[in-house]
Chain A
């Protein structure tokens, strides 16, 4: 059903980009939903519920990704994923804090 498809564009805002830990957080959130969820950077399209595939996006800070969910909870799914990527920024520092040398991890 067309009404069960939700699509959203998100921008990676944390300085370190979508490395393994954020990718795992993304997969954890995606897995909570019944919808089938894919993420694409234009070149590569991957399954949002597979950690191996998500890491293959190599999304650096500033990269825009399209998240597409298909299923009964698709609307809620893309919104939760947007919040994780753009608002929570995977609980990591953004570009500005990195330049100032604060909030550095690892």
Chain B
């Protein structure tokens, strides 16, 4: 499994309009909705579920990245999008620092193994300093796509 297998590039937002955590989540879920990736799921309900999960424990794991996610019965397959915020978003991160790159992941609730694989892939990439740097500096969808395809090539899936 590669990042480009489940990241929806049509929904990637290199420069988010929102600067508040909840608004960022709504903006990103809506982008997935507009790209037709939510299926029968309603953007509003999904965003609400992601925010509820985020309130339980922050997915801001430090180093300027956050991975808000949720498993939801109305989601049919694992899908993700990426958002960038130059000024940083307050995410109650573990290291208390702002978040510059957000990867939002939605998973069906009946396939925990695939959710884990997607998470593994996201974190394997985020672990790399240069990937985080590329993501943060990318100002266009094309640049984000290139960074992902480039890093995907590092592994044989």
Chain A residues packing against B (C-beta within 8 Å)? 15-21, 24, 51-53, 55-61, 104, 106
Interfacial chain B residues near A53, Cβ < 8 Å: 123, 127
Those of B52-109 within 8 Å (CB) of chain A: 53, 56-57, 59, 61-63, 67, 69-72, 94, 109
Q: B43 to nearest A CB, angstroms?
A: 18
Q: How many A-B residue pairs have CB under 8 A?
A: 56
A24 to B93, CA, bound (A): 13
Q: B63 to nearest A CB, angstroms?
A: 8
- Binary interface profile of B, 109-141, with partner A (CB < 8 Å = 1, else 0)? 100110111011001101100000000000000
- Taking a contact as CB atoms under 8 Å apart, the answer to whether B123 and A17 are in contact is no
Apart from A56-B124, A61-B112: 19 A-B pairs, beta carbons within 8 A: A16-B71, A16-B112, A19-B115, A19-B116, A20-B59, A20-B69, A52-B123, A53-B127, A55-B119, A56-B123, A57-B120, A58-B117, A60-B113, A60-B116, A104-B109, A106-B49, A106-B53, A106-B70, A106-B72
B67 contact from A16, A17, A20, A21, Cβ within 8 A:
A20
A21 to B124, CA, bound (A): 17
Residue of B nearest to A21 (CB): B57
A15 to B56, CA, bound (A): 20
Q: B41 to nearest A CB, angstroms?
A: 14
Interfacial chain A residues near B112, Cβ < 8 Å: 15-17, 19, 60-61
A52 to B120, CA, bound (A): 9
A55 contact from B63, B70, B120, Cβ within 8 A:
B120
- Taking a contact as CB atoms under 8 Å apart, the answer to whether B94 and A51 are in contact is yes
What are the 5 A-B residue pairs with the smallest beta carbon separation, nearest first?
A58-B120, A16-B112, A58-B116, A55-B123, A60-B113
